[in-house]
Structure 1
Amino acid sequence: MTESAVLFLQGPLGPFFKRLARTFSRAGYTTHKINFNGGDRLFSWANVQTHYKGKPANWAAFLEQYLTEHSIEAVFLLGDCRYYHRTAKPVCDALGVQFCVFEEGYLRPDTITLESGGVNSLSQMDLSRESLERITPCSAKSSQTIGGTMKRRTRYAAFYYWASSFSRDEFSEYRHHRATNPVKEGFYWLRGFARKLLFKSYDKQTQFRLDNEFDQRFYLVPLQVHDDSQMIFHSPYESVKAFIQEVIVSFWKHADLDKVLCFKHHPMDRGYTEYGQFIEDLATNLGIQDRVLYCHDIPLPDLYHHSCGVVTVNSTVGISALLHHLPTKVMGRAFYDIKGITHQGSLESFWKSPEPVDRHLFKQLHSYLFQKTQINGSFFKYYRLTCNNSLSFYEEFLKPTSTFRPSEQAPVLISGQADPLPSSYSSAA
């Protein structure tokens, strides 16, 4: 029997893909890894390793040849919107190679996501009402509690971006998914950790007001990372600031005068952006500065407990809001934006008459996600648990029934031009 072969592309910061490759290798798979920069290489291990140093426009042709020559049955990667991963998807589809996408957990904090074909707005899930009703409800509780990972993320980020910086000449054609250089990336991560300490006192005061003065009277708006792929590819906004402005102006025009708006900064974006002054200036110009607040690290469950509704672009934070039965308005494209679960009317109508969550239907959705897409574990700790669970999940749900074997009739793919970001999107915060 011929061994199965799997390929790993770019994964989470840190050693998760290295550990996962070892787990697959011990299970009898031949593991392959393609590195695109020095940071990838630093945390890399596989039976066969390759460094791609070619031009982005030639990546598709290179990958097609690699998958064919090595009879790869599945490709694993983190996120489906990075240039090299977006380009890999049609190549895998044409060759019948399973395209396995990891992502942060839909049902955090104790899970990660693994789907075939795409995640988030590109998910291949059948979420029709008929499909959801066929699911057997479950408790959807993970056996292992994960806990915090920020310190590890920060440390891994520093190592990754320094390694990338020192190898820039070697990987001169590399196209990073963030519009900055590796040295700045490391600085931003360290600055984010410092800001976490700086904003702690301010958040404490804000939380006291939300819990007492504005209990059940404030709408929560969780912000997304400024260059989040869901913002760039699956929303109508040019920037996070454009979203903030639309929400504040709409709130000013249509919300009841006793209601309050609270924006929450994304913890992973702390080192890159800060919207406090922008929000304050806009609210002041509209005369509602006393009704608009901004926080950083107040725990989401605490905010949900005292909130009356949530507005999001398309973050999976919306799922946790729905779990707390909060009316939720999605402003972009999200797989969970389903009639009966989220508000289907306009933002203006949401301020006045938010549609309630159909608790039964949401329970079916929650059970569906837990059973078909979630793995108990973390990209940054409990590696043995997470890797073993990921291997089991792959073999139970995603592994092809027959191993890919290239033939002379396999479709020939033509490498296209480098795929730029949408021209309408501004990387400016």
Structure 2
Amino acid sequence: MANTTVKPTRRVFLFLQGPHGPFFSELAAKLSETGAACWRVAFNAGDGARWTDRDTLLPFRQSEDAWIDQFSQWITETGATDLVLYGDTRRRHADAIKLARKAGLVIHVFEEGYLRPYWATYERNGSNGNSRLMDITLDQMERALLERSALPTMPPDRWGDLRQHMVHGALYHWHVLFRNQSFPHFRPHRDQTVAQEFRLQVLRLLRRPRHMIERRWTTQRIRKGGWPYHVVLLQLEHDASFRAFSDFASQTEFVNLVVDGFAKGAASHHRLVFKAHPLEDGRAPLEQTIRKRAAKHGLSDRVFFVRGGKLAYLLQAARSAVTVNSTAAHQALWRGLPVRSFGTSVYDKPGLVSHQPLPDFFTSPKPPDPEAHAIYRQFLLETSQLPGGFYSSKGRVQLLRHVVDRILAPHDPYENRLSAHESKTQQLRVVR
């Protein structure tokens, strides 16, 4: 009898922009071991600097308005079956995703870990406000968890991702600044020029020792002061989630709103602590804005600004946390702290975050439901959160060990978990 086995279609992965550093190149090497082909689009010299196979590098040197036609042509020429990218809101990525959907490609989206810092996020079709998590209820998560996975859910080994992140970022912008002659039409997706981005990266590295001293002194003063305090989790003003999924045009608007709410609702012996993002580079005048608004309300001695550092040191003794939609809120929820969030976020579920008016929140914040948070966190750990990171070598090794199988799976991680429960339910119905 003739062999009628149908050979599976060869997977062809088309990579767009990724996290700074070699992660995408290393991921492509692992996928190539499975027989897949991998191609990388480079919008600038930084994108291609760490891609080891120069024969599969596709430089995009045309003007912005030619992007869609060129991307469509590359899909056809490469025979692409899959699209891989980091973040889904920058214009080139958003346009590519729309076209990839029409062409029937599987869309793989990476992001920083929702349960940062010890995990990375892997989803399909979208992340953050575009994530499928937005449509999955806690009841669905709870039912799905009846079929438990054997995957580990404890934090993996620690590594220095932040320091490596800063170094890879500086190197990336060095390539764009000094080796970008062959990409004359490249324009960054952020407001700053390439030269400004590189300058900010270098200054942040040079100022790091001084900032560490300032941060330790301020943190110790807060922790030893004996005051009840509330922590404001600031984000980068150019952060994709902040810009795409919030109603604030700038961090200044958010800062002013929080200080005003604190002035109206907080007890006179409480303090307010603004915690800057670890990668804050000074492009937004956050500290000046905070001090100016605090002085307007006569709160200069009750409002603090902490530049970067580990969030755990502040959250351990905090009363509550306020943010737009930072993933750092997960750390506050894990500690049982009340969280007031604004904008669109994957953790904005009933029983998790408060929607009280800010003055009321600072007066009497409503804490999260521990059971609801346990369900939500466990569901993420068994689906989209993978141990590891993009920037340190240890983090990448850990992440690559898990992510290749997830990419090759026929369904996205949420569907796998939800459908497992549905399949079990149908089997029980048949037996009965």
TM-score of Structure 1 vs Structure 2, range by shorter chain = 0.7 to 0.9
Structure 1 residue corresponding to 2:223, chosen from 200, 211, 223 = 211
Contact 1:79-1:102 at 8 Å conserved across structures? yes
Letter in 2 for 1:377: G
TM-score (norm 1): 0.88
Query: For the structure 1 residues 51 and 234, does the alpha-carbon distance in structure 2 shift closer, same or farther, using more than 3 Å as the test?
Result: same
Q: CA deviation at 1:140?
A: 6.1
Structure 2 residue corresponding to 1:164, chosen from 164, 173, 176 = 176
Contact 1:106-1:113 at 8 Å conserved across structures? yes
Q: What are the residue-to-residue correspondences of 1:298-313 with 2, within 5 Å?
A: 298-313=309-324
| 1:347-370 deviation per Cα after TM superposition (whole angstroms, max 9, x unaligned) | 232112322211111111101111
Structure 1 residue corresponding to 2:122, chosen from 114, 127, 149 = 114
Q: What are the residue-to-residue correspondences of 1:304-323 with 2, within 5 Å?
A: 304-323=315-334
| Equivalent in the alignment of 1:102 | 110
| Equivalent in the alignment of 1:223 | 234
| Equivalent in the alignment of 1:364 | 375
Q: CA deviation at 1:67?
A: 1.6
Contact 1:189-1:271 at 8 Å conserved across structures? no
| Equivalent in the alignment of 1:55 | 63
Letter in 2 for 1:31: C
Number of residue pairs aligned between Structure 1 and Structure 2: 399
CA distance in 2: counterparts of 1:292 and 1:43, whole angstroms: 43
Q: What are the residue-to-residue correspondences of 1:247-262 with 2, within 5 Å?
A: 247-262=258-273
Structure 1 residue corresponding to 2:249, chosen from 230, 238, 243 = 238
Structure 1 residue corresponding to 2:212, chosen from 186, 197, 200 = 200
51-60 or 329-338, which deviates more: 51-60
CA distance in 2: counterparts of 1:242 and 1:344, whole angstroms: 18
Q: What are the residue-to-residue correspondences of 1:25-424 with 2, within 5 Å?
A: 25-46=32-53, 48-125=56-133, 126-136=135-145, 141-142=153-154, 144-215=156-227, 217-380=228-391, 381-382=393-394, 383-396=396-409, 398=411
Q: Gaps (5+ residues) in structure 2?
A: 1-6, 414-432
Letter in 1 for 2:84: F
| 1:292-318 deviation per Cα after TM superposition (whole angstroms, max 9, x unaligned) | 111113421121111000000001011
Q: CA deviation at 1:279?
A: 1.5
Query: For the structure 1 residues 143 and 27, does the alpha-carbon distance in structure 2 shift closer, same or farther, using more than 3 Å as the test?
Result: farther
TM-score (norm 2): 0.87
Q: Gaps (5+ residues) in structure 1?
A: 401-429
CA distance in 1: counterparts of 2:357 and 2:323, whole angstroms: 13
Letter in 1 for 2:208: K
134-143 or 247-256, which deviates more: 134-143
Query: For the structure 1 residues 210 and 141, does the alpha-carbon distance in structure 2 shift closer, same or farther, using more than 3 Å as the test?
Result: farther
CA distance in 2: counterparts of 1:151 and 1:356, whole angstroms: 33
Structure of greater relative contact order (alpha carbons < 8 Å, 6+ residues apart)? 1
Contact 1:74-1:98 at 8 Å conserved across structures? yes
User: Identity of counterpart residues, as a percentage?
Assistant: 28
Contact 1:33-1:45 at 8 Å conserved across structures? no
CA distance in 1: counterparts of 2:409 and 2:82, whole angstroms: 14
Letter in 1 for 2:347: Y
Letter in 2 for 1:85: H
Contact 2:229-2:270 at 8 Å conserved across structures? yes
